[in-house]
Amino acid sequence: MGVRGLLFFIVMASVQSLSITPAVHAQDARAEGRDGASDYDQSLNGLVTQSIVRDLASVRSECMTASPVYRLDCIRQGLELTSRRIPYHGDYGPMREALRSGAGSVAPIINAHADGDQDRLEVKPGANPRFKTRRYYAATKADSHDGTRADAFKALDATQSRLLELGKRSPDWNKAYTTVAIAVASLADVLRR
């Protein structure tokens, strides 16, 4: 075996040992009694929390530009899109589920008051700098606007209350979850105008 063969053997052995090492370290870290937490858990931090708040503010701005009959579906889709960007695991998991549940509780209101005579509103890709996908908003009946709004306020209040309840776990959770709950409350202002 020449020098090239020996170097090839050393490089391959090094690559294999590197690809095995992180898994071994991750298993060792989980085995050290961390109460079931994994290395993929996301702890609360200001950058992620502010990113969520900016996502909700972007949704609010986008929904304010839409006609009032499309705003509720805009809010629903905004909550759903924001929840998808939140980490699954760790301290943000319950927040993600609360926002997803909030979007799910708004959907039946839209279905109950849908206006089939109006076309869906198309939002072009890039209209919202934080969510660059094409979306379509369903209209709600203008004559049932007050009832629709009342039901939507209840759903958004329930989402906000859920976030505040979750925030009672610790001071850090309280700060992050209250900040996001305030951003969710600002979505209700869209329906008031």
Residue range 42-77, pLDDT digits in tens = 899 999 999 999 999 999 999 999 999 999 999 999
Identify the pLDDT of residue 8. 57
Identify the pLDDT of residue 30. 38
Identify the pLDDT of residue 101. 97
Instruction: Give the Cα separation of 166 and 50 in Å (integer).
Output: 18
Identify the pLDDT of residue 24. 41
Instruction: Give the Cα separation of 77 and 173 in Å (integer).
Output: 25
Identify the pLDDT of residue 23. 44
Q: 46-192, what's its fold?
A: de novo design (two linked rop proteins) (1.20.1440)
Domains in the chain: boundaries: 1-32, 46-192
Identify the pLDDT of residue 89. 87
How much is the pTM? Answer: 0.78
Stretches in the chain below the pLDDT threshold 70: 1-40
3-state percent breakdown (helix, strand, coil) of the chain, nearest 5: 70, 5, 25
**Segments in 32-69 forming alpha helices (H):** 46-65
